């Protein structure tokens, strides 16, 4: 066992830290609009110029092909520099791009991949529907063949940054008579066309990147289908694996920083022993997340593919995140009643933490996965 990094790892970290000091992007604008789009694309271009674009992508597709340990350094250092990974680039870089690399044709790769890394295109995701949440495969958005096009009708939900996206990775039902996991197709829908109506959703943190997207006779060329028609569930599994993979490695760093900010606030407010006991526990809990992440990475390095153990980390992260942020607003007392629309405040973090046990697969679904796939309990 070792925690040590090789000299090359240390050099990578030092170079990255120095580069981030000079090149960290400006804070994200609150409003999801042209300013946010310009900011995110400029950040991606800056990464591309410096050779930091696509750290998780194979070298042959313009990425860096970094080991998981290096990717963890990347996420740690960017989190340390206060850069949020929740931005409009996430879908393209972290799962749409990798899915196309795995399942797309040569023509599709040539068409869609370079603009993602070069900071020329923003992607969004159209998977969930109002009636297909945890049970994703029950999705109902229809696509009917008409000549060389598929004609799409339906509704998608929780689509982050739909307002500023160029393309959408999308799941549609192409065969309503097949069993629900068959008859699904994975396609790329261009967002700038008639029949697409984007409705932003207000959330606990008020203005939000979430949208509901409605499709009225939207035409998608057959050449935009990734994988085969009716074989989209297989492609979607790849997408979900990338989405849930290692993209959140840096989140425990942010949480560790939050605990120390809570401790500072407690110091300033002369909090009681019971509060300090909770802070001590929170420090231990956050440390355990780091250790679990390290253990998960060690396993993936040995087995070469992520197993259901990832659900253990996600479950724990959700619990600990809410515990830490609840502690934060408890420490603030009446000061915690004022909502400040800024990602960096404890109040914002508190409200946002409620999503940690819902997004990316609810904690209930994660518990089912752990119980059935890891513990071997009957379905």
Q: Which is nearer to another protein, 134 or 193 (CB)?
A: 134
d(CA 349, CA 331): 14
**Residue 212 interacting with another protein (CB under 8 A):** no
- Please return the burial class of 34, using the count of CB atoms within 10 Å of its CB with bins 0-12, 13-18 and 19+: exposed
Q: Is 84 in the site for another protein (CB under 8 A)?
A: no
Q: Which is nearer to another protein, 241 or 312 (CB)?
A: 312
Examine residue 118 and tell whether it contacts another protein (CB under 8 A): no
Q: Residue 68 or residue 162: which is nearer to another protein going by CB?
A: 68
List the catalytic residue out of 243, 267, 319, 372. Answer: 243
Q: Is 244 in the site for another protein (CB under 8 A)?
A: no
Catalytic (active site) residue 243: yes
Q: Is 39 in the site for another protein (CB under 8 A)?
A: no
What pairing do the DSSP bridges indicate for beta strands 167-173 and 225-226? unpaired
Q: If binding is defined by CB under 8 A, does position 26 make contact with another protein? A: no
Footprint (CB under 8 A) of another protein, residues 299-338 = 299, 301-302, 309, 312, 315-316, 319
Among 31, 59, 204, 287, binds another protein (CB under 8 A): 287
| 3-state SS class at 354 | helix
* Cβ density class 289-317: b for 16+ within 10 Å, e for less: bbebbbebbeebeeeeebeebbbbbbbbb
**What DSSP string runs through 96-139?**
IHHHHHHH--HHHHHHHHHHHHTT---EEEE--BTTBSSSGGG-
Count the Cβ atoms, other than its own, within 10 Å of residue 211.
23
**In the complex, least distance from residue 326 CB atom to another protein, rounded to whole angstroms:** 17
Residue 20: which H helix or E strand, with range? helix 7-23
The footprint of another protein (CB under 8 A) covers 1-5, 10, 13-14, 69, 72, 76-77, 80, 252-253, 256-257, 260, 263, 276-277, 279-281, 283-285, 287-292, 294-295, 297-299, 301-302, 309, 312, 315-316, 319, 364, 366-368, 370-372, 374-379
Catalytic residue annotation: 243
């Amino acid at each position: 066992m070792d925690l040590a990094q090789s000299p090359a790892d240390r050099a990578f970290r030092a170079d990255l830290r120095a580069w981030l000091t000079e090149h960290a992007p400006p804070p994200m604008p609150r409003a999801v609009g042209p300013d946010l789009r310009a900011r995110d694309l400029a950040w991606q271009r800056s990464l591309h110029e410096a050779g930091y674009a696509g750290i998780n992508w194979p070298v042959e597709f313009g990425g860096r092909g970094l080991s998981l340990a290096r990717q963890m350094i990347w996420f740690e250092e960017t989190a340390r520099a206060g850069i949020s990974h929740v931005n409009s680039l996430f879908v393209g870089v972290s799962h749409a791009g990798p899915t196309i690399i795995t399942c797309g044709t040569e023509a599709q790769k040539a068409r869609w991949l370079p603009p993602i890394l070069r900071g020329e295109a923003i992607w969004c995701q159209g998977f969930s529907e109002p009636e297909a949440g945890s049970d994703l495969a029950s999705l109902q958005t229809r696509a009917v063949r008409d000549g060389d096009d598929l004609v799409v009708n339906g509704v998608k939900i929780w689509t982050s940054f739909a307002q500023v996206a160029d393309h959408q990775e999308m799941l549609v039902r192409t065969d309503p008579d097949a069993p629900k996991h068959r008859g699904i197709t994975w396609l790329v829908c261009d967002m700038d066309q008639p029949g697409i109506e984007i409705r932003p959703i207000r959330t606990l943190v008020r203005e939000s990147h979430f949208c509901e997207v409605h499709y009225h006779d939207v035409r998608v060329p057959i050449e935009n289908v990734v994988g085969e028609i009716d074989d989209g569930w297989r492609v979607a599994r790849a997408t979900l694996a990338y989405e849930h993979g290692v993209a959140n490695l840096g989140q425990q760093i942010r949480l560790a920083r939050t605990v120390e900010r809570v401790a500072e606030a407690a110091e300033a407010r002369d909090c009681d022993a019971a509060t300090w006991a909770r802070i001590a526990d929170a420090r231990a809990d956050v440390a355990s997340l780091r250790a679990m992440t390290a253990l998960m990475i060690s396993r993936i390095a040995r087995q070469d593919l992520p197993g259901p153990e990832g659900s253990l980390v996600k479950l724990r992260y959700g619990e600990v995140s809410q515990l830490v942020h609840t502690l934060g607003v408890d420490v603030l007392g009446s000061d915690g009643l004022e909502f400040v629309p800024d990602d960096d405040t404890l109040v914002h973090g508190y409200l946002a933490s409620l999503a940690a046990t819902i997004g990316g697969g609810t904690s209930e679904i994660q518990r089912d996965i752990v119980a059935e796939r890891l513990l071997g309990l009957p379905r």
